[in-house]
Structure 1
Amino acid sequence: MKSRNIGYIPELDHLRLLAALLVFGFHFFHFNMGTWRSYPDQPHWGLITEGHTGVSLFFVLSGFIFMTIALENDEIRYGAFLRNRILRIAPLFLVVFIVAVSIGRDRFEATDVLYLLITNIGDAPTSWHFATGPAWSISVEFAFYLVFPFLALFTKERGSGFLVKALLLLLIIKLGAYLATDNSRHMLYSTLVGRFDQFLIGMLAAIAYARRRPVLERRARLFFAVAVVLVFLGAAVQARWLSYLSPEPKQPLGIIWGSVEASLWGLAVVSYLSARLPWPNWIGNLLAKGGERSFSLYMWHAMIIYIVHELVGPAGATGGLALAFHGIFVLTLALMFASLSFAIIEKPFLDMRRRYTDQPSS
């Protein structure tokens, strides 16, 4: 996604596409298998059975991208920043919200309109049906937008230690929230309390990349290989001991897991950008185009999964190979629909964005 505030980095779009694909795989697998349960006996499939980790990657990328912009510019103009963010997410989100309340028209109440501001707690209309369920994360993302310019300013004034102290503060808050709630698993997964550290870790990753880039690039391929292994092992650990789909509502490891998960993705982001893998042009361009449409893919993929499921039937009982081919078919349809959504809903508003930073004085 090209920005008016930073030079285009196609690798970031590659990672956006990866995040959307992980969430797609998670939803496709569980919806077609019809189980929505954990698979602790198969941790090697963690990136699929716990593919919701793609949401964590999205949050880390947000922190990374915006902090990179802040480091390369003198000032972020708050009003202009929020205007751009609203133009980026509001049009598509509003369409999905309207679809959600239309699906649930018989249970809709006037006060449900307030869920436009908070879709990740309570009985939000977007969570009434699987087809619009992914929209829950938008409220968490936008809450970060509201405070990011201040976080960036304070970090530039006080150094990265400010973010480290903020993470310590959040850890203590998480501990208190864990002790105070009966369903800490769900609370840590879907609320700002459980997720805000992931944005901060993305910001720290941006600072590390900016400061250590020459060192990182000298051993980038090795660094990237290690990061891939660690992300795989992290997903396996989550599948084995900390599944979001576990029936256990109190999971002590969850207090720190959001930070651990984000740190692994932060390593992956920094190492992938440093490695600059020599993709053939057509593959690199394809990945970048997919990343450009990743928001539409994320927001609509569940609906496409549901439509195909209703028209064709589940694929879970037909064996692993058939499930994989069915997944490719559904993903192709989802990508096609995402491209249409991007062109009709997103792109016209994206073209209205303006620069919100002041460049450094020469």
Structure 2
Amino acid sequence: MQSLNLQYNPRIDQLRWLAATIVFLFHFQLEYRGLGGPALVSPWAALITEGHTGVGLFFTLSGFLFMQIVLHQKTIVYGDFLRNRVLRIVPLFLTIFLIATSIGRDNFQPQDIFYLFATNLGHAPTSGTPVTGAAWTISLEFLFYMVFPFLARFAMERGPRYLLSLLVLMAFFKLSAYTVNANSTLMYFCTFVGRFDQFLIGMLAAMLYQQQRSFRVPPAFGPLLLLGATVLVVCEMAALHHYAPFGATPKSAFWIFWSMFESAGWAAFILAWLAFGPRLPALLDRVLCHGGKVSFSFYLLHMALLHLLAVQVGRVVPTGNGWIDAFIMIALTYGATWLLATLSYNTIEEPFLRMRRRYGIGKTTEFGEIATSK
């Protein structure tokens, strides 16, 4: 996606595509297994069976990208920054929220309107159905947007040690919260305590990337770094699958620091992918970049389409072979989701994105020198 404040890097869009695709495969296998399809049981398939990790990649990538923008621009105008964030996420998010309240109209309470700001807590209307369930992440994203300009300023002034100090505090919050929460796994999965450190780790990775820009990775090492980062992520997910798969137990000590390990693995993957020298074939590059461009619509709408097809069409068995049929269904549902996301992007997102503006070049605000849109 083109930014007004940073030179376009297709590798970032490709990472967005990857995150959305991982989450799609996660929910596809849940729906397909629910229809009687074969289940993935190997821990080495955990990148799919624990594909909620795509959310961890999204969060880490958000911290990384916004910190990159600040390191490039040096300034952020708070009001303009939030204006761009609202234009970026609110039109589609509000659409999803209105769909959720329409579905649950018979149980709607006036105070439920406040769930616009807390879709990850309590009994949010969006969490009542798989059609809108993916919206829980948006409240955490917007919380990060609200405080990011301050975090960026302090990190620029004090260096990476400031973010490291915040991560130490987050570790303390995680430990203390574990002692009093009976459903700590869900708490770590979808709340500030469980996820905010992933934004911070993304910011740290951006600062590391900036410091090492002058260091050129030898072309022969690029693929090795990417392979190492991939192995790290796959092994992390295999460990999660083995010791504490999501949904298996409401309380597991494994999850206390899981988000930090998960995000560190994805940060390594982001850095390795950016350092990867070989260019992708032109057609593949364009396709994946388009996937990144429409990834927000893809993420928020894919569950609705998957559930609709599961209920109205069911499991299709053209060959009678469970795995071949699964691949056919993946291809068909993925393509349908891609088309739906493109329609949503062009209709709901893109007109508002054209209203964005730069948020700080040549301006001074109460943020002083650090006063700049994604």
Q: Which category describes the TM-score, using the shorter chain as reference length?
A: over 0.9
How far residue 320 of structure 1 moved from its aligned partner, in angstroms, is: 1.8
Q: Which has the larger displacement, 262-271 or 317-326?
A: 317-326
What's the CA shift for 1:103? 1.2
**Separation in structure 2 between the aligned mates of residue 213 and residue 318 of structure 1, nearest angstrom:** 50
Distance of aligned partners of 1:40 and 1:336 in 2 relative to their CA distance in 1, 3 Å threshold:
closer
Shift of 1:42: 1.7
CA deviation digits over 1:243-281, x for unaligned, max 9? 1121x1111121111000000000000110111431111
**What residue is the counterpart of 1:77 in the other structure?**
77
Do the aligned residues in 2 keep the contact of 1:216 with 1:223 (CA within 8 Å)?
no
Say which SS state the counterpart of residue 213 (structure 1) adopts: coil
Conserved in 2, the CA contact under 8 Å of 1:163 and 1:200?
yes
Is the Cα contact below 8 Å between 2:35 and 2:310 reproduced in 1? no
More helix by share: 1
Asked if the contact 2:174–2:193 (Cα under 8 Å) also holds between the matched residues in 1, the reply is: yes
Count, aligned residues: 358
User: Paired residue for 2:158?
Assistant: 158
Give 1:308's aligned amino acid: L
Alignment partners' CA distance in 2, 1:40 and 1:231: 18
- Contact map agreement 2:236 2:262 (CA 8 A) in 1: yes
**How far does residue 127 in structure 1 lie from its aligned partner after superposition?**
0.6
Counterpart selection for 1:243 from 237, 242, 245 = 245
- Normalising by structure 1, we get a TM-score of 0.95
Question: Which position in structure 2 is the counterpart of 1:27?
Answer: 27
1:192-203, aligned counterparts within 5 Å? 192-203=192-203
Alignment of 1:261-340 (within 5 A): 261-314=262-315, 319-340=322-343
**1:318 Cα deviation after fit:** 6.0
SS in 2 for 1:94: helix
1:61 alignment partner in structure 2: 61
Give 2:224's aligned residue: 222
Instruction: Give the alignment partner of residue 234 of structure 1, picking from 229, 232, 236.
Output: 236
**In structure 2, do the counterparts of structure 1 residues 186 and 128 end up closer, same or farther at CA, with 3 Å as the change threshold?**
same
Identical residues among aligned pairs (%)? 44
Moved more, 53-62 or 308-317: 308-317
Tell me, yes or no, if the aligned pair for 2:14 and 2:291 is still in contact at 8 Å.
yes
Post-superposition shift, 1:120?
Answer: 0.2
Tell me which residue corresponds to 1:350: 353
Per-residue deviation at 1:40?
Answer: 9.7
C-alpha contact 1:32 1:315 (8 A) present in aligned 2: no
Instruction: Give the CA deviation at 1:61.
Output: 0.5
For structure 2, the 5+ residue unaligned runs are 364-368, 370-374
Q: Classify the secondary structure of the residue corresponding to 2:217.
A: helix
Q: Equivalent residue of 2:279, what SS?
A: coil
Corresponding residue SS for 2:132: helix
Return 217-226 or 42-51, whichever deviates more: 217-226
Q: CA deviation at 1:34?
A: 1.5
